[in-house]
């Protein structure tokens, strides 16, 4: 289902956004009823907020954010397990992480950042391979990389674990907390928690997994879907394609981001993940376990699972008091419905993960929404 919109000429035409918007308004008039389009990608959430697209759409077309921010969907219990690694840190263990996990508060509002202030050896890295280098340079210490993310991050970390095996690094391990998008979509539709009329599907994840894993949306749920890129025009065009499906009464799967997404996905990334991971019922924030919705290290790679290596068991803990992050992730409330929003909870003083992550809905609303 390719479209030919994205030629060089298309990108340079300043009137194209107006043309798409006009189509969107015409379609929304024909549809009449209120339409909820859920974006299930944190990068979309940020791009929508930054470009102000939400504000220029017709009143009956709502963009609602879904569980697409990897840091935000990591359960409070799993955040606590990561932070608890700092209890065995000191001079024995080095925790390495991408920067967006540093300030995420656990149930006691302690974070990796706070653990670092209290003496734990917590280091920000820009690639998991940097963590392997730290392990190689510190053979007397254990080095853990905080592995959190979707199908986009998981292949790189799988490659890193394979490389650790190849170069015989045994003092390196990963917290395998990878989430998968299609099972989350199925959960949302089965649970009927939120009113969803269409999905704006993630471009980057789809570039890895291809578009066959979304076939069930139409076949089993008659649910319109469009895989879209991250430029404002990509998103507008994605909305237009979804409205067109709804107006025609013919739900389908459109691939607006055909310049990056192929039907079969990225075969190399998929084969690496197949070698290193197995699926498990991952815990999602405010949702709980979703069947086969996560990747964990399996087979010969299981010994690189930091939670197993250090016997850190699963935990069930309460969400931070008054934080509506779970409801925000399910598209049930907008961030400014939370009474902490922009008062007690800001990017500098986050109460929940949705305000910490660069892809969190609360952070997006705080950064861009308050201006309007």
Applying CB under 6 A, which residues contact ligand SF4?
Answer: 323-325, 328, 335, 338, 340-341, 345, 351-352, 354-355, 362
Q: Facing residues of 282 across strands? A: 290
Shortest approach of ligand SF4 to residue 352 CB, angstroms?
3
Shortest approach of ligand SF4 to residue 343 CB, angstroms?
9
**Sign of the four-CA dihedral 125, 127, 128, 134:** negative
Shortest approach of ligand SF4 to residue 103 CB, angstroms?
11
Burial 277-289 (b: 16+ CB within 10 A, else e): bbebebbbbbbee
Q: Which is nearer to ligand SF4, 211 or 341 (CB)?
A: 341
Q: Which is nearer to ligand SF4, 189 or 355 (CB)?
A: 355
Q: Which is nearer to ligand SF4, 180 or 325 (CB)?
A: 325
Q: Which is nearer to ligand SF4, 230 or 341 (CB)?
A: 341
Q: Which helix (H) or strand (E) holds 226?
A: strand 225-228
Shortest approach of ligand SF4 to residue 288 CB, angstroms?
18
Cα separation, 279 vs 137, whole angstroms: 32
Cα separation, 359 vs 200, whole angstroms: 16
Q: Which is nearer to ligand SF4, 40 or 355 (CB)?
A: 355
Cα separation, 7 vs 233, whole angstroms: 13
Residue-by-residue DSSP string for 148-168 = EE-TTTHHHHHHHHHHHHHTT
Shortest approach of ligand SF4 to residue 360 CB, angstroms?
7
Specify whether the CB–CB gap between 173 and 309 falls below 8 A: yes
- Which residue's Cβ lies closest to ligand SF4? 352
Cα separation, 316 vs 306, whole angstroms: 19
Q: Would you tell me the crossing angle of helices 42-51 and 361-368 to the nearest 10 degrees?
A: 10
What's the distance, CA 79 to chain centroid? 15
Q: Which is nearer to ligand SF4, 68 or 176 (CB)?
A: 68
Shortest approach of ligand SF4 to residue 59 CB, angstroms?
25
């Amino acid at each position: 289902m390719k479209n030919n919109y994205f030629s060089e000429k298309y990108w340079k035409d300043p009137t194209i956004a107006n043309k798409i918007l006009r189509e969107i308004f015409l379609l929304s008039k024909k549809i009449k009823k209120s339409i909820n389009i859920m974006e299930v990608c944190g990068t979309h959430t940020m791009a929508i907020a930054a470009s102000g697209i939400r504000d220029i759409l017709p009143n009956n077309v709502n963009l609602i954010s879904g569980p697409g921010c990897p840091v935000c969907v990591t359960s409070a219990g799993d955040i606590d397990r990561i932070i608890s690694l700092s209890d065995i840190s000191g001079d024995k263990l080095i925790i390495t992480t991408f920067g967006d996990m540093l300030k995420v508060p656990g149930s006691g509002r302690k974070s990796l950042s706070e653990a670092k202030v209290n003496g734990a050896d917590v280091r920000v890295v820009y690639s998991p391979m940097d963590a392997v280098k730290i392990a190689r340079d510190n053979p007397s210490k254990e080095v853990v990389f905080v592995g959190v993310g979707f199908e986009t991050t998981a292949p790189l970390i799988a490659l890193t674990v394979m490389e650790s095996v190849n170069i015989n690094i045994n003092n390196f391990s990963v917290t395998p907390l990878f989430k998968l998008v299609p099972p989350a979509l199925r959960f949302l539709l089965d649970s009927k928690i939120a009113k969803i009329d269409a999905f704006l599907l993630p471009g980057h994840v789809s570039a890895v997994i291809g578009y066959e894993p979304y076939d069930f949306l139409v076949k089993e749920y008659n649910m319109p879907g469009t895989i879209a890129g991250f430029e404002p025009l990509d998103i507008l065009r994605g909305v237009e394609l979804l409205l067109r499906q709804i107006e025609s009464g013919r739900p389908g799967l459109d691939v607006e981001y055909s310049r990056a997404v192929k039907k079969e996905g990225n075969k190399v990334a998929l084969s690496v993940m197949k070698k290193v991971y197995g699926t498990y019922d991952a815990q999602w924030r405010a949702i709980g376990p979703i069947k086969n919705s996560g990747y964990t290290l399996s087979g010969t790679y299981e010994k690189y699972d930091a939670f197993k290596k250090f016997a850190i068991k699963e935990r069930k803990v309460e969400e931070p008091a008054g934080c509506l992050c779970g409801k925000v992730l399910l598209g049930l409330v907008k961030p400014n419905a939370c009474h902490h929003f922009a008062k007690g909870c800001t990017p500098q003083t986050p109460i929940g993960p949705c305000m910490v992550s660069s892809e969190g809905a609360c952070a997006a609303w705080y950064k861009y929404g308050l201006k309007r």
